[in-house]
Amino acid sequence: MLRVARSKMLPAVTSFVCLTTVGMSVDEAERQEPTSYGQDGYGQDRPIVIAHRGASGYVPEHTLAAFAMAILQGADFIEPDLVITKDGHLIARHDNVLDLTTNVSGKPEFAGRKTIKTVDGAAVTGWFSEDFTLEEIKTLRAIERIPGVRPANARFDGQFEIPTLQEIIDLAQAYEKFLGHRIGLYPETKHPTYFDRLGLSLEEPLVKVLRRNGYEGRNARVFIQSFEINNLRKLKSMTQIPLVQLLWIEGKPFDVDAEGGTLTYEQMATPAGLAQIASYAQGVGPEKRFIIPLDSVGNLDPSRATQFVQHAHAVGLQVHPYTFCSENVFLPTNFRSSSDPNALGNGIGEIKTFLSTGIDGFFTDHTERGIVARDAFLKNQ
């Protein structure tokens, strides 16, 4: 049954991707053949390019089309954010608030599900994944999360289903056979403390699905990431898959806050904090300004680089910063192409600047630009 589903899925998704990639390639003059250098303990021979929610710069995020496009653009890893349904199925969404990325608000049969909940300490109004069964989720369709920035993506609103983690794995494994190389998975557990309090723990179903599909151990081409700490500590006792502690630029992990703790992300980014992370994780995913902060006018100056990467490497942690997007609105001032906030700027140049700090990989919404930046950087080493 699974092989039949895969065989039907791949041609349809691949055809869509081929049609929508026309005109999106970067300047051929910037393409370089990759340069290989020594493998690390995870079987990596170069910094990894992680497709942030798929090729989300071009297609609504967390859809099979977005993941397929990222794979065909050369992603080393694809990254699904995971939330859970009422009946315990892991699905790929940016958040458990469904109206941010689906057409649920236009479904009259679900009008009565709109409610107010407190999620990670904040009151949120909307429709929530944990109030829907998977069968109900499958009646919804994805929409672009930031149409103001990516209006072209909105033309696909309503076309794609909400995928389960298993469907994403099926897609990745089908493409592995089709392309002849491995494709990594980089799932993020969203709101683990919140879901745990509802009796819908994320850890057990995540490890179960991964193990059922042959993913186990440090060479499984999987990283599991979280902004919380207890979630990762629990996973450490359940699996040998490498874990990654995410760091936001301010505040503290929700589980720390919920327990009345004082540990902040800023403290976790210190040498002492990184050493503590290394006791339960194999990597750290910092907001990129921990590595190179912008100057007072928003320019990126490599001379302002911190010692974050060196300190993380000193305690054995890989470093995978986030998120590299090529629209001007997300770029440093000196990497923008024009005053149009939604036009594409020099995202390749920004990535190459960060690669010079020694990072081990990076998250990007524009996979093909990440590949060009990585390979061009290595060619000049």
The three-state DSSP-derived secondary structure of 116-145 is EEEECCEEEEECEHHHCCHHHHCCCCECCC
181 is catalytic: no
Dig out the tokens for 222 from the structure. 């999987």
Burial of 195 (0-12, 13-18, 19+ CB in 10 A): buried
Catalytic, 94? Answer yes
Catalytic residue, from 62, 94, 320, 366: name it: 94
Report d(CA 173, CA 237) in Å as an integer. 27
CB atoms within 10 A of CB 7: 10
Catalytic residue chosen out of the listed positions 52, 62, 191, 320: 52
Q: How far apart are CA 223 and CA 185, in angstroms?
A: 7
Strands (DSSP E) contained in 69-121 are 77-79, 81-84, 90-92, 115-119
Please enumerate in sequence order all residues whose Cβ is within 8 A of that of 96, keeping only pairs 6 or more positions apart, or say none. Answer: 83, 84, 119, 128, 129, 130, 190, 191, 194, 195
Cα gap 92→84, rounded to integer Å: 9
- Count the Cβ atoms, other than its own, within 10 Å of residue 59: 30
Active site residues: 52, 94
